[in-house]
Chains A and B, each alone.
Chain A
Amino acid sequence: MRAEIRRSIVYRSERGKTVRLCITIRDDMIMHATFTGDFFGEPAEELNRIGESLVGLSIKERDKLLNKLDDFLRERVEWIEGASPEDFKQALIRILENL
């Protein structure tokens, strides 16, 4: 079994806030992902679970990952300020590009 890969990134949103992504990958599969940052929004419990939408998915399927993220933000998050859905996607894209 290959070792786990842990990566984190700080992404500066266009609106001036910070989106951080911490991710753990094993055998190309996302085991754990958490988005944190100084953005605002509701409902808080859903914003704290954005990363869970990526768990169990392969890092090889980039479009599927981005779509999952989009779906979660659209369906579960009522409002968000300081960062946009695109900022979350950019954080993910950058971490995948630097694995």
Chain B
Amino acid sequence: MASAGGRWRLLEAEWPEDPYYNLAVEEAVARAVSEGVAPTTLRLWRNDNAIVIGAFQCVSLEIRLEECVKYGVKVVRRFTGGGAVYHDICNLNYAISFRRPSPIPGDNVLEGYRMVGGAVITGLEKLGVKAEFIPVNDIQVGGRKISGMAGTLTRNLLFIHGCLLVGSNIEILSRVLNVPREKLEAKGVGSVRARVTTLRDELNREITMDEVKTALLKGFEEIFGVEFMPGELTSWEKKMAEDLYRNKYLTVNWNLGPCRGCPDRDRDALILRRIGLAGGD
């Protein structure tokens, strides 16, 4: 049956052991859609044991790097803003790239969070979990965050991605992220552990990633009125991903971000290399 919103590509391309390549693919797909060489695309994917930091954040302020060394947690910067998140193999990431004009009212990032969040919430309902969208970019269950989103808007692209905590290791998450006291207080909680929940905890049972993916796809189909066609990375996207991987996501400069005058930058660079960063400056 044809749907009102047409057919979107579904990508399940992932490299859980290489978060730098995963993020390179994330940007390559977004660029392909922006350039008009790929259709609207939903990508479902996972990292294993990595922190993905926001484009405008400071590594040494947001992340407990010594804990990352202890737990073998890699650190990679994404191309969208927002806060640092911990990814493990029990999380599911969703990323949707719309070429503008998009189905999001006004091609607006905040409306994008609301509508993509609505699709995720509808998917969670299919699993028996009642979640709600909390502006600016959070999805919560019973006051606890289960998913956060980030996104960007450029001339031809509206891009939204997020991370759903399916069965994440909250112990490691709470040790490696250095959430400011001011932020926790504003949320009315004393610790990261009290602020987040997982799908497994809410359902009080184990859940497979396939179950979660099926439910999320139904949520997207309902909210956007689309059908999904399984697809693969194009040669254009693979070439772009390889270029971004070598020249951006594996570099110290990209991953340490804006704090170029920071006296701790050399120390942080050494730690990033210890935990897996293999590229040049």
Contact = CB atoms under 8 A, between A and B. Distances in A.
Q: Real complex partners, A and B?
A: yes
B152 A48 contact: no
Contacts of B58: 20, 22, 34, 36
Contacts of A53: none
Interface string B254-270: 00011111110000000
Contact of A37 (B57, B110, B137, B152): B57
Contact of B259 (A15, A18, A36, A81): A36
Interface in A33-62: 34-42, 44, 47-49, 51
B61 A41 contact: no
Interface centre among A12, A15, A17, A82 (most CB of B within 10 A): A82
Interface residues of A, number: 30
Contacts, number: 92
B55 interface: yes
A20 B53 CA distance: 15
A40 B182 contact: no
Given A48-B257, A81-B110, A40 B61 contact: no
Nearest to B261: A32
B186 interface: yes
Interface in B149-192: 150-154, 180-183, 186
A48 to B, nearest CB: 4
B254 to A, nearest CB: 11
Given A18-B183, A81-B110, A39 B81 contact: yes
A49 B57 contact: no
Consensus secondary structure, chain B interface: loop
A41 B109 CA distance: 10
Contacts of B61: 8, 20, 22, 36
A6 B261 CA distance: 12
Contacts of B55: 44, 47-48
A36 B261 CA distance: 13
Contacts of B181: 10
Interface of B: 54-58, 61, 79-84, 109-110, 135-137, 150-154, 180-183, 186, 257-263
Given A36-B58, A44-B152, 7 more contacts: A22-B61, A34-B58, A35-B258, A37-B56, A38-B57, A49-B258, A51-B258
Interface of A: 6, 8, 10, 12, 15-18, 20, 22, 24, 31-32, 34-42, 44, 47-49, 51, 79, 81-82
20 contacts: A8-B61, A12-B183, A16-B135, A16-B136, A17-B136, A20-B58, A20-B61, A36-B257, A36-B259, A37-B57, A38-B82, A38-B84, A39-B81, A40-B81, A40-B109, A42-B152, A42-B153, A48-B55, A81-B136, A82-B137
